[in-house]
Structure 1
Amino acid sequence: MKIIAHRGNKRYAPENTMAAFYSAAGYDVDGIEFDLQLTKDLVPVIIHDPTIDRTTNGRGSVSSFTLNELKQFDAGQRFHDSFRGETIPSFKEFLLWASDYSFTLHIELKLQKSNADLLIRETVKDLEHFEMIDRAVISSFQHGYLEQIKSLNPHLETALLTKTPIFRAVKYAEKMSADGIHIRYNIQNSRFFRRWSNKGVPVRAYHVRKPGQLLLCDKLGVSGIITDDPRAMKSAAERILK
């Protein structure tokens, strides 16, 4: 069972910041999940929301600022004053740091109202430049993005990201050039999880927060969990999984 830190160690550090990623890496997680979208000057940066309102001391859409402008906003103080000075990381900044580790990169591409093709191309190009194609899994709720990723580099692993049940999921995944499925652990009948896993499709469950949920995922053949609390889930896995 792989333990993947959702937006870094977001329970104990401000999400999608280098502080959260450092913290997650300290627990020797199997993967770190984060979100990508483009700035005004078309640089991929790591942030979840389309605006900076919730996670920084600024206001406005991510796409309305250049990278240098975004770096002026504080992305840590709202979480706790001890994180004052944390900034929104660029993708390249993260990749440079991640080069010293071995965890898998779980990259969620966010919806882009414009320049989606450029976000996809820049993401693939940066992974190739840092020689991390074999360490990356790219997912998105925008399933059409996955076909474009595969057309640029067929060696990249991709995954459908879904909030709702999927009918004939394996066939649909194949149609959308997806290698795996990322799905909330409790939104589909358990027999489908087993069926997908038995067919060799990687299934990763998100919003797993409790030991009982972890145990259920293990019984269903889930290959990894995406969790807000990697420390607790690592401890639970060592304690209850054989």
Structure 2
Amino acid sequence: MTLIFAHRGSSSSHPENTMISFMEANKAGADGIELDVQLTKDGEIVIIHDDKVDRTTNGKGFVKDLTLAEIKQLNAGHHFKKGTFEDTIPTLQEFLTWFKQTNLLCNIEYKSTTITNHELEDKVVQLVRQYQLEDRIIFSSFNHYSIVYSYRLAPEIETAPLYMEGIYMPWVYADSIRAKGIHPHYKVTPNELIILAQQNGIAVRPFTINQEKDIKRFMEVNTAAIITDYPAMAREIKNNL
């Protein structure tokens, strides 16, 4: 059965990467949440996708140049549906406190570009262990150095590389970096690849699948999971199949 991961929460209906979006995804019947983490100027882990706050909030500037106190002043729903929903940028700790009380899984994406500084991974792993959530977390990143470091630090927590291009035999690559899954862009994920990867023990969780026909295709071929902005629609399609 294909699991449904809500991309940045229920980001089609609520402001992405906010607690209201995550709670809505849970209500909509998602099996998991996908979210993005990075560090503030004072080294706190916050949940936000872009390296700047401009697109999603009423603030300006790079996340790494703002303190947590400054970030907490911003409205993360400012640009979404004319500011219908107001919410703050959550910390990973706030999220995990809520998440621990649910039955959800969570895909934490490291928004990391460096191959030498691993402060983000160190802090995230420490927090996940503190909450004893190792078996409900998957770490992913487009920065594969980041997830390899993560695996070495915490081999008990699953990792999965994110990628946009067609990779030849990606299950071989995944296995070589000890990843248990792959998170490819849906356009480079034909049915044959899903079947072969999963026969070789590698879970396939493509992103970001928002069209009904695509959701159906991935579910019909028993893809391990899909990552979608529309968890409610995906749940309805899954129930009808």
The TM-score range, normalised by the shorter chain, is over 0.9
Superposed CA offset, 1:5-38 (max 9, x none)? 0000011110001110111111131000000011
- Which residue pairs with 2:39 in the alignment? 38
- Which residue pairs with 1:123 in the alignment? 124
**Cα separation, partners in 2 of 1:121 and 1:163, compared to 1, 3 Å:** same
Aligned pair 1:64/2:62, yes or no? no
Name whichever of 203-212 and 126-135 sits farther off.
203-212
- Which residue pairs with 1:167 in the alignment? 168
The letter of the residue matching 2:99 is: A
- Which residue pairs with 1:24 in the alignment? 25
Could you tell me how far apart the structure 2 residues matched to 1:93 and 1:115 are?
28
Could you tell me how far apart the structure 1 residues matched to 2:204 and 2:110 are?
18
Could you tell me how far apart the structure 2 residues matched to 1:48 and 1:87 are?
14
- Which residue pairs with 1:75 in the alignment? 76
- Cα RMSD over matched residues? 1.4
Superposed CA offset, 1:191-232 (max 9, x none)? 222100111210011121122212211233311100001001
Could you tell me how far apart the structure 1 residues matched to 2:220 and 2:14 are?
31
- Which residue pairs with 2:12 in the alignment? 11
- Structure 1 contact 197–221 (Cα < 8 Å) conserved: no
Aligned pair 1:106/2:122, yes or no? no
Aligned-pair CA distance for 1:115: 7.4
User: Tell me, what secondary structure is at the counterpart of 2:214?
Assistant: helix
Aligned-pair CA distance for 1:113: 4.5
The letter of the residue matching 2:110 is: L
Could you tell me how far apart the structure 1 residues matched to 2:113 and 2:119 are?
10
- Which residue pairs with 2:197 in the alignment? 196
Name whichever of 93-102 and 174-183 sits farther off.
174-183
Aligned pair 1:220/2:221, yes or no? yes
Could you tell me how far apart the structure 2 residues matched to 1:225 and 1:158 are?
16
Superposed CA offset, 1:50-77 (max 9, x none)? 0000000011000001111100111112
Could you tell me how far apart the structure 2 residues matched to 1:199 and 1:113 are?
31
> Following TM superposition, where does structure 1 have runs of at least 4 consecutive aligned residues deviating by more than 4 angstroms?
none
Aligned-pair CA distance for 1:189: 3.9
- Structure 2 contact 29–231 (Cα < 8 Å) conserved: no
- Which residue pairs with 2:188 in the alignment? 187
Could you tell me how far apart the structure 2 residues matched to 1:114 and 1:140 are?
12
Name whichever of 165-174 and 93-102 sits farther off.
165-174
- Structure 1 contact 210–233 (Cα < 8 Å) conserved: no
Could you tell me how far apart the structure 1 residues matched to 2:72 and 2:201 are?
42
Query: TM-score, structure 2 length as denominator?
Result: 0.95
Percent identical residues: 36
Aligned-pair CA distance for 1:114: 8.3
**Cα separation, partners in 2 of 1:114 and 1:43, compared to 1, 3 Å:** farther
- Structure 1 contact 37–47 (Cα < 8 Å) conserved: yes
The letter of the residue matching 2:198 is: S
- Structure 1 contact 146–177 (Cα < 8 Å) conserved: no
User: Tell me, what secondary structure is at the counterpart of 1:206?
Assistant: coil
Unaligned runs of 5+ in 2: none
Q: How many residues align?
A: 239
